[in-house]
Structure 1
Amino acid sequence: MTTSTRTARRGRPGHDRADIIRAGVELFNEQGYDATSVSDLTGRLGLTKSALYHHVESKEQILQIALEDALGGLEKALENALQQPTAGSRLTAIIEGAVRVLTERQPQVTLLLRLRGNSEIETAALARRRRFDHTVTGLVREAQSEGIVRTDLDAGVATRLIFGMINSVVEWYRPDGPVDPELLAGEILAVALGGLQPRG
C-alpha cells in the first residue's frame, strides 16, 4: 500500500454516533421501526455491521436514545411550565415549550407519535407520554378554575385538541421553510387559547 493510499483511507469521512442515530430515526420514520433492519441502517450509512456496533449496541438502543430525546424535551418543557406563577401562564408556557421541542426535535417527536407499543421500550415511552398528558390536563383544569378556559369543555378533550393541533405540525413543518418557530408557537397559542376562552 502506498503512502498516498494510506492517507486517502485515513482521511475518508466517517460516521459518528450522532450520524447513526440520525439515520436510524430517519429510517424508522420512513418505513416503520419494526420494518427497519440493521442491514437497512448499514446500507443507508455505507457501514459494515461491525462499524455500526462500534457506536451503538442495537437498533433498539437507537430507538431508546431518540425517544429519550423527544420525551426528555417535553418533560423539561413541562417542568419549566410548572414553575410559572399562575394557571394561565403555566398553560401558555407548556404550549410554547411543546411547540419549541417539536420544531427543534421534529424527527424524534415524529417517531414518538408513531409508536405502536410493540416492545418494552415503546410501552415505557407511551406510559411517560400518558403521564405528560395527564399533567397537562391538570393544568387545563386549573385554568378552568381561574376562569381562563371555558368550564363547559372537558379538560381531557381540550388537552387532546390542543396537542392534536401541536402534533400535526410534524406533518408539514420544515426547519428550512418560511415558518419561524417562535411565530408558530405564538400562532398556535392564539388559536388554542382563543378558542378555549369563556364566551362573553
Structure 2
Amino acid sequence: MSTDTAGRRVRRPAQGPGSLLEIAVGEFITRGYDATSMEDLSRAAGITKSSFYHHFSGKEALLRAALERAIAVLFGVFDQPGAVEGPPVRRLRHIVRGQVEALIGDLPYVTLLLRVRGNTETERWALDQRRAYDARVAAIVREAVEQGELRADVDPALAARLLSGLVNSVAEWYRPGRPGTVGLPDAVTRAAFEGLLPTR
C-alpha cells in the first residue's frame, strides 16, 4: 500500500505473475476457490481484468500454477539425499521433517492444496498427486516393516495417511512468528516417531 497527497492509503497494483499468483492464492483461501471471481481477483490486485488475463488465461490457470508449486515443493523432499539414503525409518523421519519444512516455507500454497475437493479437472489432478505422495510414503513404511524397523502389524497405507494427516494439520494453526513454533519440523517429527509419553 502507498499513500496519496492527502495521506490516504491507496492500493498499489500488483506487478508480475508471481505477485498476482500470491494474491490469488490468498483470495482462494479466504473466499474459497468456487466463490472467487475474476472480478474479486482483479480488485484485490488493484488491476483490471484484462491486465490479469495478460498473465493468466483464467481462474483455473491460477489454481493450477499454485497447486503445481505446492506439489513440486512436497515431492522435492523425495529427491533429497536423506530421503533416498539409509534405513527406511531414517528416510521416513527425513521425509516427515521435510514435509513440515515445505508446509512452513510455502504455507499459503500447501494450505490451498490441502483444501481442494475435486470439483474441477485441476483439483482432481491435485488429489491424484496427493494420493501418489501417500503411496510413496506407504512404500517406505512397507519396507521398514519388512526390515523389522516397524511393528509387523503396521498397515503401510494407514501409517502413510496418519503421518500426512499429522503434518497437514499444522497448516490449520501454524503462523510465522507464533510462540512455540521454533524448531517445529523437529518437534513434529519427534511426536510422529517417538510419541508424547516419556520413555521408561
Deviation of the 1:160 alpha carbon: 1.4
2:143 corresponds to: 142
SS at 2:36's partner residue? coil
Question: Could you tell me the TM-score, scaled by structure 2's length?
Answer: 0.85
Question: Could you tell me the TM-score, scaled by structure 1's length?
Answer: 0.85
Q: 1:121 to 1:68 in 2, by over 3 A?
A: same
Deviation of the 1:178 alpha carbon: 3.1
Q: Which has the higher helix share?
A: 1
Q: 1:188 to 1:121 in 2, by over 3 A?
A: same
Deviation of the 1:76 alpha carbon: 0.9
1:69 corresponds to: 69
Find out whether 1:46 has 2:50 as its counterpart.
no
**Matched-pair identity in %:** 41
SS at 2:126's partner residue? helix
Deviation of the 1:65 alpha carbon: 0.8
2:16 corresponds to: 16
C-alpha separation in 2, matches of 1:14 and 1:45: 5
Higher deviation after alignment, 144-153 or 183-192: 144-153
C-alpha separation in 2, matches of 1:151 and 1:31: 45
- The residue type equivalent to 1:47 in the other structure is I
Q: Aligned pair count?
A: 186
Q: What runs of 5+ residues in structure 1 fail to find an aligned partner? A: 1-11
C-alpha separation in 2, matches of 1:28 and 1:148: 42
2:124 corresponds to: 123
Matches within 5 A, 1:1-200: 14-80=14-80, 81-180=82-181, 183-195=183-195
Q: 1:26 to 1:13 in 2, by over 3 A?
A: closer
Once the two structures are superposed, residues 35-76 of structure 1 have per-residue CA deviations (whole angstroms, 9 ceiling, x without a partner) of 110000011112111111122221111111110111001111
SS at 2:169's partner residue? helix
Deviation of the 1:14 alpha carbon: 4.6
Kindly report the root-mean-square deviation, in angstroms, between the aligned alpha carbons of the 2 structures: 2.1
Once the two structures are superposed, residues 85-143 of structure 1 have per-residue CA deviations (whole angstroms, 9 ceiling, x without a partner) of 22122111110110111000111111111111111111111111111101101111112
- The residue type equivalent to 2:44 in the other structure is R
Q: 1:131 to 1:13 in 2, by over 3 A?
A: closer
Deviation of the 1:146 alpha carbon: 2.7
Deviation of the 1:177 alpha carbon: 2.4
